[in-house]
Amino acid sequence: MNNTIGLACDHAGYELKQYVKQYLDNRGIAYKDYGTYSESSCDYPDFGHALARGIEQGEVYPGIAICGSGEGIAMTLNKHQGIRAGLAWIPEIAHLIRQHNDANVLVMPGRFISHETAQEIMDEYLSTPFEGGRHQKRVEKIAIHE
């Protein structure tokens, strides 16, 4: 995965998102920042929906999203049929959301992990391929087809 990565956060995730940008810059990985752009109070859905649309429209892939707990922005992202956002707070979870669930957005809890842990999570997420096989049929059942 070395495409342009989409980034999104709310005010509680802003500081960690700045670290994520530094991490990506140091590895020569391109990114597009969908906001927020400061620690001023804001609403995570505004930025989660923007990132989801960026992925759906092919502007970016994959995404990294951050809010205080990670839960709110994950809920927002997962309202989009083509998004599989997975919340990871340890590297082992990041590995599994890629390997088993083909997560196209990594979500991290900005208020609960250190920069070191975030780096380990991103290393694992970005280096783990989707296993496919028995997991493919399960992933195909996630989206609602009416």
Q: Which residues are catalytic?
A: 67, 100
Structure tokens at 102: 């083909």
Rounded-to-integer distance, Cα 44 and Cα 72, Å: 7
Residue 96 phi, psi dihedral angles, 5° rounding: -70, -35
Gyration radius (Cα) of the chain, Å: 14
Distance of CA 126 to the CA centre of its chain: 11
- Decide: 43 and 70 in contact? Cβ < 8 Å: no
Is-contact 103 86, C-beta < 8 A? yes
